A and B are shown apart, each in its own frame.
Chain A
Amino acid sequence: MVGVVALVVLLATYLTWTATRVDRLHARAASAARSLDAHLLRRAAAAAVLAEERLVTELYSAARIALDAGADEREAAENDLTRQLRAVPLPAAEPAADAVVAASRRLALARQVHTDVVRDTLSARGRPLVRMLRLGRRHEQPAYFEIDDPTLAVTATPVPTPAQD
């Protein structure tokens, strides 16, 4: 009898612990997604400022499209912005260019954090016990944000006139 009670208590503890773990992972995935969103907006805004200063139309429109993109076209829009940014010189001495490089670096970090927590969450959702008891049902399934590495290289020597294609 004592053994049965102990077993039930142990099982209950384990279930509570697993449920808490699943909840915590989902909460973390959600807040990592919010932070990623904020950094995407910051980068696009910094790119728009740079484009306005330099009068680079392609970059400006890429930044606008990235800012306005809906969920289903956002990854493509962000990748396009990365490509446009790779095409312009970014000397560290120019404040607007430096802001873009810094925003891209922070975006790369935020994306890494998001990818890690999404992977952990999906792996937790896929565990047999979690699936059987549908512990993840109260949460929306998190999704990866698939974009190219947004890290940008600083242009070593200041370029006098921005190259435009």
Chain B
Amino acid sequence: MRIGIVSPYSFDVPGGVQNHVLDLAEALIGLGHSVSVLAPADDDARLPPYVVPAGRAMQIPYNGSVARIAFGPISSARVRRWLARGEFDVLHVHEPLTLSLSMLAVLSSDGPVVATFHTAMPRSRLLDTFESFRRITLERITSRIAVSALARKVQVEHLDGGAVEIPNGVSVARFASAEPLPGWPGEGGAIGFLGRFTEARKGFPVLRDAFVALAGVRPGLRLLVAGPGDPDDVMEGVPPALRERVVFIGKVSEEDKARMLRSVDVYVAPNTGGESFGMILTEAMAAGTTVVASDIDAFRRVLDGGRAGRLVPVGDAKALARALGALLDDPAGRAALSACGREAVARYDWPVVAREVLEVYATAIEATDGRVVDVEWAPPRTG
């Protein structure tokens, strides 16, 4: 199958959508398909061979933050050229409701179009002003995919349409084979956390309190923290005597993330809510690390109701400390949980997820009888 994939965001800024697009493209290529990915990038940017640059992304203030997107006549011309040359059997765009290459591609094509919605809130204020613009974009999409139950709910309730739920994939082999960081996990045990620890909903203080309680009675226990932020914020509330046992490695690359997850005995996700999927849990399970997570809907689903990882009450540092203490003393129990975790994560392995996506492609192709062609499009007038 000839597949054209469009990424709305540039690959020089790492992000969930970008990783998803690259991993999906590689999984599809691995299954023997021909894939071309269009993304905002300079012509001389270093990119994987299957990525076609669509020109530099502009930085524009957008929904309260800065977005790097490509949108305009030059981008539009590049999109049409890519569509005309690609002769794709199916076009797969990501986040088409942002002003981006994805939207341009949807508007410039006719034929089977599959769209993946990543965030739970894909609406932009700008688009809300141009309701008809949004409707015309959605109208050209044959089949919608949502990466989580929450993203699907938004589709049903706010964009009046159904969507197939296909979860984010994880490259199990890459995580399973990563080398632990030198000297980790060590004799006294190691606990890990990755994420924006300053964000309240990530629940880092709960883990910190639990660690402080445990470290007092367990002399060798260490905490490995990764994520963007200031080291002082990590150490806040940690007694000076324990500070050398809290190791902060800052923001990590994809490769170091896998190594970091392999470096700890237990990975903790103390989130207090607001998670739609729990990608990091699938990654920790793929790395073969035992997972302890807050008992919230998304995590319960990923951890198979607690079979593939221990669930603890939300925001309860004492309960978390008890669960961690019990697991640190029980290597056999940890091994059993991580074995279940590996089994549960097989369902999220990229080749498995990519086959589900291929079924959606096949359905979209059958339902439109025809391949993707580029078309002239006139911007709609309101009225």
A residues neighboring B (CB under 8 Å): 10, 13-14, 17, 21, 24-25, 28, 31-32, 34-36, 38, 105-106, 108-110, 112-117, 119-120, 123-124
Whether the Cβ atoms of B378 and A109 lie closer than 8 Å is no
Alpha-carbon separation in the docked complex, A25 to B140 (Å): 9
The majority secondary structure among interface residues of chain A is: helix
B residues neighboring A (CB under 8 Å): 110, 135-136, 138-139, 141-144, 160-164, 359-360, 362-364, 366-369, 378, 380-381
Interface centre among B143, B366, B381 (most CB of A within 10 A): B366
Interface centre among B110, B162, B367, B368 (most CB of A within 10 A): B367
B145 to chain A, nearest CB (A): 10
Whether the Cβ atoms of A106 and B359 lie closer than 8 Å is yes
A-B contact pairs, 30 of them (CB 8 A): A17-B380, A24-B110, A25-B139, A28-B142, A28-B367, A28-B368, A31-B368, A32-B367, A32-B368, A35-B366, A35-B367, A106-B363, A109-B143, A109-B359, A109-B360, A112-B143, A112-B162, A112-B163, A112-B164, A113-B363, A113-B367, A114-B367, A116-B141, A116-B142, A116-B144, A117-B142, A119-B160, A120-B135, A120-B139, A124-B139
Q: Which residues does chain B contribute within 8 Å of A21, judged by CB atoms? A: 136, 139
A16's closest neighbor in chain B, by CB?
A: B378
Q: Which residues does chain A contribute within 8 Å of B143, judged by CB atoms? A: 109, 112-113, 116
Total A-B pairs in contact (CB under 8 Å)? 62
Alpha-carbon separation in the docked complex, A119 to B159 (Å): 12
Whether the Cβ atoms of B110 and A38 lie closer than 8 Å is no
Whether the Cβ atoms of A109 and B363 lie closer than 8 Å is yes
Whether the Cβ atoms of B363 and A120 lie closer than 8 Å is no
Q: Which residues does chain B contribute within 8 Å of A25, judged by CB atoms? A: 139
Q: Which residues does chain A contribute within 8 Å of B359, judged by CB atoms? A: 105-106, 109
Q: Which residues does chain B contribute within 8 Å of A108, judged by CB atoms? A: 164
Whether the Cβ atoms of A14 and B381 lie closer than 8 Å is yes
A111's closest neighbor in chain B, by CB?
A: B162
Q: A24-B110, A25-B139 are in contact. Are A110 and B381 (CB under 8 A)?
A: no
Q: Which residues does chain A contribute within 8 Å of B160, judged by CB atoms? A: 119
Q: Which residues does chain B contribute within 8 Å of A120, judged by CB atoms? A: 135, 138-139
Q: Which of B110, B161, B362 touches A116 (beta carbons < 8 Å)?
A: B161
Whether the Cβ atoms of B139 and A31 lie closer than 8 Å is no
B360's closest neighbor in chain A, by CB?
A: A109
Alpha-carbon separation in the docked complex, A91 to B334 (Å): 30
B115 to chain A, nearest CB (A): 11
Q: Which residues does chain B contribute within 8 Å of A105, judged by CB atoms? A: 359
Q: Which residues does chain A contribute within 8 Å of B136, judged by CB atoms? A: 21
In addition to A106-B359, A120-B138, 16 A-B residue pairs with Cβ atoms within 8 Å of each other are A10-B381, A21-B139, A24-B110, A32-B367, A32-B368, A35-B363, A105-B359, A109-B359, A109-B363, A110-B366, A112-B164, A113-B142, A116-B142, A116-B143, A120-B139, A123-B135
B162's closest neighbor in chain A, by CB?
A: A112
Q: A24-B110, A119-B160, A119-B161 are in contact. Are A110 and B367 (CB under 8 A)?
A: yes
